């Protein structure tokens, strides 16, 4: 495990790197530790997430952004020879997800080229795997903006407002997932331009605020975000099914 140890990108090869913001406290889980450190199956949620990127030969490096005083990360990502130099912990997490990502991008300035692809992924999505990573990278290709995993809405959607209920057409509706993949320079520019953090609910929304349209790549239900205690069991079921031969 390397800790905030950067090596300049000296060649012109465009790389794909992962950035995992993991400085949140997970208040809605009502647990004794941040939710990214809760055990899913046999290991902490964050470990599942990091392992997904380590399993992909397409990912050159993985950066994990935690708070400066995080007391758990060393127990989850200890120095391990099999990981080599493919994981770096950045202790520069902020008060919000957007701030953590922005701080992480600044911390690796000089390490990444402006055209390198950054795959930002939620620490609380332990169902990611190498197949989904490959699908996102392959189908996004050289898209001029970038892309993200998402699921088309299949249920009927209702809107309730002012005591009235109406049905919303679902034909063009998608549920955003992560990773969300953008060029290093573009992602940094989009986050720096965001003046209202409450309006930026994911990285794609910051890019969209620049008037750009990322590509939607179909994800998978197993890549759910663990938000409530009941989500843990669902995530465990998906992970158990994936582990069967």
Give yes or no for a contact between 215 and 179, defined as CB atoms under 8 angstroms apart. no
Smallest CA-to-CA distance from 181 within 65, 53, 81, 54 is with: 53
> 59 is written with which tokens?
């990912």
**Is the peptide bond prior to 179 cis by the omega test (within 30 degrees of 0)?**
yes
Quickly tell me which residue has 């520069």 as its tokens: 92
Domain positions in the chain: 2-243
What CATH topology corresponds to 2-243? Spore Coat Polysaccharide Biosynthesis Protein SpsA; Chain A (3.90.550)
Write the pLDDT tens digit of every residue in 118-162: 999 999 999 999 999 999 999 999 999 999 999 999 999 999 998
What would you report as the CA-atom Rg of the chain, rounded to the nearest whole angstrom? 18
pLDDT tens-digit readout, 23-79: 976 444 445 578 899 999 889 999 999 999 999 999 999 999 999 999 999 999 976
Residue 136 burial by Cβ neighbours in a 10 Å radius (0-12, 13-18, 19+): buried
Contact 207/186 with Cβ under 8 angstroms?
yes
pTM comes to 0.90
Q: Are 35 and 124 in contact (CB under 8 A)?
A: yes
Of 18, 216, 45, which is closest to residue 133 (Cα–Cα)?
A: 18
């Amino acid at each position: 495990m390397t800790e905030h140890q950067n090596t300049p990108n000296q060649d012109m090869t465009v790389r794909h790197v992962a950035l995992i913001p993991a400085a949140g406290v997970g208040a809605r889980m009502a647990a004794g530790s941040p939710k990214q450190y809760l055990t899913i199956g046999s290991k902490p949620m964050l470990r599942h997430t990091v392992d997904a990127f380590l399993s992909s030969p397409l990912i050159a490096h993985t950066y994990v952004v935690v708070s400066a005083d995080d007391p758990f990360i060393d127990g989850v990502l200890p120095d391990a020879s099999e990981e080599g130099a493919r994981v770096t912990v950045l202790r520069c997490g902020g008060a919000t997800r957007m701030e953590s990502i922005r701080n992480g991008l600044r911390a690796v300035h000089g390490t990444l080229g402006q055209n390198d692809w950054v795959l930002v992924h939620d620490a609380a999505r332990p169902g990611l795997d190498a197949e989904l990573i490959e699908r996102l990278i392959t189908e996004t290709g050289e898209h001029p903006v970038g892309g993200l995993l998402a699921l088309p809405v299949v249920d009927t959607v209702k809107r309730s407002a002012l005591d009235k209920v109406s049905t919303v057409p679902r034909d063009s509706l998608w549920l955003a997932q992560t990773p969300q993949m953008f060029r290093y320079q573009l992602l940094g520019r989009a986050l720096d331009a965001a003046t209202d953090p409450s309006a930026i609910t994911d990285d794609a929304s910051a890019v969209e605020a620049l008037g750009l349209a990322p590509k939607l790549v179909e994800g998978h239900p197993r890549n759910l975000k663990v938000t409530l205690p009941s989500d843990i069991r669902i995530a465990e079921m998906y992970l158990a099914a994936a582990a069967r031969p």
